[in-house]
């Protein structure tokens, strides 16, 4: 639903619309409200005003600096039967604190007529959905989302039969919706768990790759150290000290081998490198 649709559904017959959303929120332009019925007010002013039938109060609830459900409780208690409150919700739909709304609404004897998501809202603050509530003396017929069920009735009959049917419908809907949403909640939980496990696995693979890279670098440095003449000379001296009786033979032999290996590597390094067409003919 778009925010402008609220005007035809709920605000067209309003005698007075009190806007409690704040000076930086432009609800009047978005809802195209007539100046003769539109009025800005604070929550305290609304709590002390005459909010009778035909009066509609607009409030913006949400996180951060927006109004909280507890803050509008005095205003809701001041509503008289027939007055309505249009609650614009700034929380994402899956984060709406329904438990915080139920207390003030129930204490003020307000019935939620409809709760629908909104799209393309530009009032100066994020608005994800809207809750339409009315102060009632007896249950009003619910208006199902995207249907007109109950829209052609103003109230239930005095015999209470339709009211009882509505209560049964609410109870049945609660049970059925919980039944339908239970596997969805389980699927969301499983997806969240799988995502978390995948993230941990990726982190482990990244750490393992880092360890393998460091290990390969350590092996390379060890090989370079073992191939150096300094290491080989030191190893020959240590072996000679371990076996003094053979040191007179082994030390000169090992040192000579280290020297020959060093001369060979130096000669290889000084040799001319062949070009792309063979050795340089000028050498």
241 and 209 in a common domain: no
Strands annotated E in the chain: 16-19, 38-40, 55-61, 84-89, 110-117, 129-135
Q: What's the pLDDT score for residue 129?
A: 87
112 and 61 in a common domain: yes
Residues of the chain with pLDDT under 50: 146-158, 283
86 and 128 in a common domain: yes
62 and 45 in a common domain: yes
Q: Is residue 65 part of a domain?
A: yes
Q: What's the pLDDT score for residue 247?
A: 67
Between the alpha carbon of residue 170 and those of residues 37, 110, 251, the distances in Å are: 34, 15, 98
Q: What's the pLDDT score for residue 164?
A: 64
Domain of 199 in residue numbering reads as 156-220
Q: Is residue 277 part of a domain?
A: no
Last residue of a domain, one of 111, 145, 179: 145
Q: What's the pLDDT score for residue 259?
A: 74
57 and 124 in a common domain: yes
Q: What's the pLDDT score for residue 142?
A: 61
99 and 189 in a common domain: no
Return the CATH number at 94.
3.40.50.150
207 and 115 in a common domain: no
Instruction: Compute the distance between CA of residue 135 and CA of residue 220 in angstroms, rounded to an integer.
Output: 79
Mean of per-residue pLDDT scores for the chain: 79
Instruction: Supply the pTM of this predicted model.
Output: 0.57
99 and 45 in a common domain: yes
Question: Looking at the 3D structure of the chain, how many domains does it have?
Answer: 3
Q: What's the pLDDT score for residue 150?
A: 45
Q: Is residue 210 part of a domain?
A: yes
Q: In terms of Cα–Cα distance, which of 109, 51, 58, 53 is closest to 82?
A: 53
Q: Is residue 87 part of a domain?
A: yes
């Amino acid at each position: 639903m778009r925010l402008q649709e609220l005007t035809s559904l709920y605000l067209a017959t309003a005698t007075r619309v009190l806007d409690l959303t704040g000076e930086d929120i432009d609800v009047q332009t978005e809802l195209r409200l007539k100046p003769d019925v539109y009025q800005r007010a604070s929550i305290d002013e609304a709590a002390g005003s005459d909010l009778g039938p035909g009066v509609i109060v607009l409030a913006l609830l949400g996180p951060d600096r927006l109004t909280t459900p507890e803050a509008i409780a005095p205003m809701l208690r001041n509503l008289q039967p027939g007055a309505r409150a249009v609650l614009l919700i700034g929380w994402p739909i899956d984060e709406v604190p329904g438990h915080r709304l139920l207390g003030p609404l129930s204490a003020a004897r307000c019935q939620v007529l409809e709760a629908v998501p909104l799209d393309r809202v530009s009032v100066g603050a994020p608005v994800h959905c809207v809750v339409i509530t009315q102060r009632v003396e007896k249950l009003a017929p619910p208006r199902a989302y995207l249907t007109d069920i109950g829209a052609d009735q103003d109230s239930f009959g005095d015999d209470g039969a339709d009211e009882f049917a509505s209560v049964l419908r609410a109870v049945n809907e609660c049970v059925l919706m919980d039944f339908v949403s239970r596997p969805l909640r389980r699927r969301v939980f499983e997806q969240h768990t799988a995502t978390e496990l995948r993230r941990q696995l990726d982190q482990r693979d990244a750490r393992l790759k880092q360890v393998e890279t460091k290990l390969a670098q350590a092996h390379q440095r060890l090989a370079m150290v073992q191939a150096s003449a300094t290491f080989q000379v030191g190893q020959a001296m240590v072996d000679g000290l371990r076996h003094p009786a053979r040191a007179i033979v082994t030390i000169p032999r090992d040192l000579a081998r280290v020297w020959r290996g060093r001369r060979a590597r130096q000669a290889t390094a000084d040799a001319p490198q062949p070009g792309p067409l063979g050795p340089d003919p000028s050498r």
